[in-house]
Amino acid sequence: MTTIIISIVYAALALPFLANAQLSGTVGPLTTRAEKAATKVCNILDYGGVASATTDNSAAITSAWAACVDGGEVYIPSGKYGLGTWITLSGGSAISINLEGIIYRTGTASGNMIYIENTKDFEFYSGTSAGAIQGYGYEFATGECYTPRILRLYEVTDFSVHDFVLVDSPQYHLTFDTCTNGEVYNMVIRGGNEGGLDGIDVWGTNIWVHDVEVTNKDECVTVKSPASYIMVENIFCNWSGGCAIGSLGADTAIFNVEYNHIYSQNCNQMFMIKSNGGSGSVYNCAFNNFMGHTNAYTLDVNAYWTDETLAAGDGVEYYDLSFEHWHGTCADGENRAPIQVLCPSEVPCYDITIDAFYIWTESGDEELYKCENAYGSGPCLNDGTSYSTYTTTYTVTTMSDYTYTTMAGELSSGLGITASIAIPTIPASFFPSITPYSTLLG
């Protein structure tokens, strides 16, 4: 083990970084909300819906979708609506769902409460930014029901999901499975303080996730394989597991991904790339302008993540990854290294860049950086192209200008799993001093 004492000097917080990892084209619906509504409006109250939190409105929503499937808007007015039977909404083009009310889970099946598949030119939104879906996941935590997810999109193209809230899912909150040309924004996700309650999981191509707040104790916004041309910006991980790429196994295919302006407080990590064995690659990705405080881990690339079952293969290949302009604190930098890049000797990481990294420990007076078989430019990385096996630990004893700005609405503890979680309002900002790309509809 090599021990090196280093002192890092001041550098200003960077302007937004434009990486090679970019969207590959336009995202979002092909027709406007107004055009869809002008074609047809299918109010669920006209299809047997009842504004009651204990009445099952699944048949009404399904019938309204069928009536508007060739173009129009499914309208769920202000009020409370129960959902006791899960709904699958298939096909359709130039269709939207305007959720002005609040949907309450009353059923106990597994699966997905709302599953949208094989749809194009689609929009799911709240015109007042007051719509919400309440999953009552605390009942699952106490063993009273099964484990449904709230919302899943599968093979949906040219879409947007925005301006409503997902609360207390019994399992994952929002999943984008093999979707294309999508935009997700102006949302809050609030889950309980335990694992398995992911905020947003996304895989597919050409998807922009921005201006989102997540509270849970698992993934904040996570990219999974296969994925390409994914942009994740202006994310507030407000007491969460933190953002990640993974878990990765055989035939991993992730490239052209950018995370920019990510704020994390009291999270398990600011960002983690995780695998255990496996094959394939993650490359041409940028992780820039991270800020936060009191996180357990910070920058964690871990190809030996033993919480994941060992996959067949020598390891996933990580290369052409940049981590630039990180500011803030970690909880205990001596016991949980704020820089940790651990790669297998059979498949070393290379072309890694760590620059302008200003994270200091809240506990103790030193912190460690750990690297293993990782090559590039930055603390504890080896340069050159020989890629010989090595392990290095740096000891850092001073840090200049790790200053960070706190966010309004920071939670001081995780949300419980024994009572219902309150439905919040959508905030005005998701990263310090950054204005959201889109104004709230409400």
Q: Tell me the β-bridge partners of 414.
A: none
- The Cα 291–Cα 413 span in angstroms is 19
Helix (H, G, I), strand (E, B), or coil: what is residue 19?
A: coil
Tokens of 120: 């194009």
293 is catalytic: yes
β-pairing verdict for 367-372 and 391-399? antiparallel
With CA atoms as reference, report the closest residue to 349 among 327, 370, 325: 370
- The Cα 139–Cα 246 span in angstroms is 28
Phi, psi of 33 (to 5 degrees): -60, -40
Helix (H, G, I), strand (E, B), or coil: what is residue 158?
A: strand
With CA atoms as reference, report the closest residue to 39 among 73, 9, 11: 73
Q: What angle do CA 102, 127, 222 make, to 5 degrees?
A: 75
Tokens of 82: 């129960």
Please, how many CA atoms are within 13 Å of residue 179, restricted to the half-sphere of its CB?
36
With CA atoms as reference, report the closest residue to 173 among 204, 208, 146, 197: 197
> Catalytic one among 163, 201, 218, 320?
218
Contacts of 409 (CB under 8 A, 6+ apart): 213, 238, 427
173 is catalytic: no
> Catalytic one among 293, 300, 325, 327?
293
Do 323 and 340 form a contact (C-beta atoms < 8 A)? no
**DSSP state, residue 333:** T
Tokens of 352: 């890694």
Active site residues: 218, 293
